[in-house]
Structure 1
Amino acid sequence: MESDYKRWTYFPGNVYKTPETKKRKFWDKLVLGTRIYFVLRYIRAINVNARKALAGVYDREAWAESSIDILNLTEDCGARYNISGLDNLHELEGPAVFVSNHMSTLETMVYPGIIAPEMPVTFVVKESLMTAPLFGPVMRSREPITVKRENVREDLMAVMSQGQEKLKEGTSIIIFPQSTRTVNFNPKEFNSMGIKLAQKAKVKVVPMAIKSDFWGNGKLIKEFGKLNRKKTVFIEIGKPFAVSGNGKEDHERVTAWISERLEQWNKIRS
């Protein structure tokens, strides 16, 4: 935990929307709707961050700043953001478990820029990401909780054990309870791991919903999917709440809330 860290935020209000004056970069337009400009800048950014991580200087502030850099990159390539519920984050006292659906690489890149300025935070990630080229050093530097996604019981034990320690230290946890990134949200595939962790650690749950199909998943490499510049990126942070009883109703409450947001956003023509 970085106790000497000074709190700040890139999003001081309750809502952030990409300014109407924000225009696509000339170089992105020049490549005729392809993602060449985006991919080159993205790879460069990850390479810079990996070098910082290997040098031991990729701290929480650097993580948040690099996250905002990626957000700015997506805006440079035509993304329009609509982020709401930020006051629920600003007013949060103490560590929490953030439970979100997982649609694309975008949330992994952008969530730190939203949450890390407010509090120490890390992810629950697949173990293989720790050794991935370029991104591995970055992920290792943030000391995430790792799971293998081969045995549900073992993963639950790892999250419960490591998660409680992190939360006790004051570090919040971001959990994507789905087994993989998917555009279509299926509540039946959304496990209750986050609810159980929050209940055991006696901290609040913060539901988060995201529609990030602007950045598609690639067939060979998921991080390099197509960009759909007609899609708006929607993010909403829900009200924090304490888990009650066995947590079953709270889990259903979170999945219903996410489903409602996605249904509402899908009706909005980007």
Structure 2
Amino acid sequence: MKNYTDYPEIIGKSDTYQTDASIPKSSIASVLFFWRLYKVVRNANKHTQINTYDRYNWVASSLGVLRAAESIGIKVQVKGMKHFTEFDGPAIIIGNHMSTLETLLLPSFIQPIKSVIYVIKKQLIDFPLFGPVAAARHPIIVGRTNPREDLKIVMEEGTKNLEKGRSIIIFPQKTRSAQFDKTSFNSLGIKLAKKNNVPVIPLALVTDAWGNGKIVKELGKIDADKRVYFEFGKPIKVEGSGSDQHEEVLNFIETKLKEWGRSDLLKQ
């Protein structure tokens, strides 16, 4: 188990990232991916047990998941990472939420450029294997059953973390969904950004190469024929009620899904 003392790779030093197109697809993609994922998460858990799961080892394990996905033929495209260098201080990153894949990959793109944490559901903390890893990286934990209580927690804990210079990733949907439904997006991230006068970075993504399982969401089908996309938008300053900026984030996501040829993911 290697203990990193620096970031093993800084993907975000370039604006874009693209998987090597020559990597072939595997005929046993799901088996290989989940085995390699297990080894990455097992090592991350060992670090949590001895309190060494710091930012460097977090990024290392995130990169491990990226390489595991790429090794079975999944192609990943990332754009817009330059936007994190266009302002000082933290930001609120607001995006759609499709699968477990984005939760595991985003740290490798963002953390070496901007210190970042997640707003996550309490049930993820209680989940075997993943739970201790998620809990080790200063998450803001919400229940998703009481919106008023969640708002209070995010506003209070979010402000504390922003003051420490930590950017915050928020998925405003109630749960992971293969479809993008504008009506399911709350304005929690916009409210937090406005209160703390920090910019919003919109995030559009397509990660259904790792599907959501019917019984256990984390154990869905792996489809290496589906391309993975991430794109970060320009920083947005929240003004007034924030309703215009909320719409701007939604429109950014919708536009990108169409550009990627995935209009099938838009809920009609």
Give TM-score, length-normalised by structure 1. 0.91
SS in 2 for 1:11: helix
Q: Give the alignment of 1:1-270 within 5 angstroms.
A: 9-24=10-25, 29=26, 32-266=27-261
Separation (CA, whole Å) in 2 of partners of 1:193 and 1:215? 27
The residue type equivalent to 1:14 in the other structure is D
Instruction: Describe the shift of the 1:99–1:18 C-alpha distance in structure 2 as closer, same or farther (beyond 3 A).
Output: same
**Alignment gaps of 5+ in structure 2:** 264-268
Q: Mean alpha-carbon deviation: is it higher for 215-224 or for 259-268? A: 259-268
Return the offset for 1:34.
Answer: 4.9
Which amino acid is 1:17 matched to? Q
* Aligned residue identity for 1:63: W
**Contact 2:203/2:253 (<8 A) preserved:** yes
> Which segments of structure 1 move beyond 4 Å, counting only runs of 4 or more?
4-8
- Partner secondary structure for residue 84 of structure 2: helix
Instruction: Describe the superposition over 1:29-76 as per-residue Cα deviations: whole angstroms up to 9, x where unpaired.
Output: 3xx435111111111211110110121000011101110110111000
Deviations 1:115-162 (A, max 9, x none): 111121110000122222111111111110000011111101100010
Cα distance, 1:266 vs structure 2? 2.5
Task: Please report how far the alpha carbon of residue 5 of structure 1 lies from its aligned counterpart in structure 2 after TM superposition.
Answer: 7.9
Of all paired residues, the percent bearing the same amino acid is 39
C-alpha spacing 1:265/1:203, structure 2 compared with 1 (3 Å): same
Q: Distance in 2 between matches of 1:164 and 1:6?
A: 27
TM-score of the two chains, using structure 2 as the length reference: 0.92
Paired residues, what number? 259
Shift of 1:262: 1.0
Query: Does the 8 Å contact 2:29/2:223 carry over to 1?
Result: no
Task: Quote the offset at 1:7 in angstroms.
Answer: 11
Question: What is the deviation of 1:229?
Answer: 1.5
Check the 8 A contact 1:7/1:119 in 2, yes or no.
no
Q: 1:211 Cα deviation (Å)?
A: 0.6
SS of aligned partner of 2:12: coil
CA apart distance, 1:16: 1.1
Aligned-partner Cα distance in 2 for 1:106–1:121 = 17
Secondary structure of the structure 2 residue equivalent to 1:35: helix
